[in-house]
């Protein structure tokens, strides 16, 4: 009887040890999966690059901000539209491109046209670290006392990052007056506009690829 009990006890111990031994390697294999490690490292690098961009935009330094643009900027990839005849002359002369010298010369107007201030607001409202485990972030900068509000979004799809600054109508806003065009302050014609910056993450470097907008 004692011998039988001893054999049964040994079998239980062996089975338990085998279960423990088979669980740990699985965890180690997952943790050491090169594809998993590479994806995690790439996303960490992407977040760091976005933080660098955030610092540049927040600086308000036109020289530093100019350095993130791939000059000359083609009129098709970069939607820069400002009401300035002198700028138009230079734009046409440079083959429908914006040169770095033009960018610096007309920076204030260009910054307004490409919503640099709104990109800065986007970075202030969205946490870059959240992108370590998410592909999409969104914040609605809603104020019930304002006729329009911005929705800020970051969308990551493979090696592409889109910064979206979409203006929306506040349907709950009660217009106290009409605009000069005889439209309510919160009309879609005034409030609803989409604008986005497209960046590409290539070789651990974030590159601004295009800027576009739509009504």
Please tell me the distance from the alpha carbon of residue 26 to that of residue 28, in angstroms, as a whole number.
5
Q: What is the pLDDT of residue 38?
A: 65
Asked whether residue 4 is assigned to any structural domain, the reply reads no
Asked whether residue 107 is assigned to any structural domain, the reply reads yes
Q: What is the pLDDT of residue 34?
A: 56
Q: What is the pLDDT of residue 189?
A: 86
- Both tokens of 125, joined, read 């409202």
Asked whether residue 26 is assigned to any structural domain, the reply reads no
- Both tokens of 163, joined, read 């910064």
Q: What is the pLDDT of residue 31?
A: 53
- Both tokens of 5, joined, read 């009990």
Domain count of the fold of the chain = 1
Asked whether residue 79 is assigned to any structural domain, the reply reads yes
Asked whether residue 9 is assigned to any structural domain, the reply reads no
Q: What is the pLDDT of residue 7?
A: 42
Q: What is the pLDDT of residue 13?
A: 43
Asked whether residue 12 is assigned to any structural domain, the reply reads no
Q: What is the pLDDT of residue 96?
A: 95
Confidence of residue 8 (pLDDT cuts 50, 70, 90): very low
Contact 118, 195 (CB under 8 A): yes
Asked whether residue 176 is assigned to any structural domain, the reply reads yes
Q: What is the pLDDT of residues 83-124, one digit of tens each?
A: 999 999 999 999 999 999 999 999 999 999 999 999 999 999
Confidence of residue 4 (pLDDT cuts 50, 70, 90): very low
Please tell me the distance from the alpha carbon of residue 138 to that of residue 4, in angstroms, as a whole number.
66
Please tell me the distance from the alpha carbon of residue 169 to that of residue 94, in angstroms, as a whole number.
38
- Domain range for residue 72? 33-214
Q: What is the pLDDT of residues 10-53, one digit of tens each?
A: 444 444 445 544 445 444 444 555 555 667 889 999 999 999 99
Asked whether residue 21 is assigned to any structural domain, the reply reads no
Q: What is the pLDDT of residues 195-209, one digit of tens each?
A: 999 999 998 899 999
């Amino acid at each position: 009887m004692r011998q039988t009990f001893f054999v049964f006890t040994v079998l239980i111990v062996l089975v338990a040890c085998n279960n423990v031994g088979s669980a740990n390697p699985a965890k180690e294999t997952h943790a050491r999966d090169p594809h998993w490690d590479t994806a995690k490292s790439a996303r960490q690098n992407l977040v760091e690059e976005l933080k660098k961009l955030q610092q540049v935009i927040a600086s308000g330094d036109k020289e530093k901000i100019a350095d993130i643009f791939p000059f000359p900027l083609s009129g098709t990839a970069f939607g820069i539209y400002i009401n300035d005849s002198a700028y138009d002359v230079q734009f046409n002369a440079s083959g429908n491109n914006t040169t770095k010298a033009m960018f610096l010369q007309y920076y204030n107007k260009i910054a307004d046209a490409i919503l640099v201030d709104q990109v800065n607001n986007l970075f202030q409202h969205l946490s870059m670290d959240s992108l370590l485990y998410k592909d999409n972030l969104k914040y609605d900068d809603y104020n019930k006392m304002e006729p329009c509000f911005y929705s800020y979004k970051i969308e990551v799809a493979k090696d592409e990052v889109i910064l979206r600054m979409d203006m929306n109508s506040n349907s709950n806003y009660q217009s106290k007056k009409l605009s000069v065009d005889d439209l309510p302050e919160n009309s879609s014609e005034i409030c609803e506009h989409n604008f986005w910056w497209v960046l590409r993450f290539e070789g651990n470097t974030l590159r601004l690829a295009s800027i576009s907008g739509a009504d």
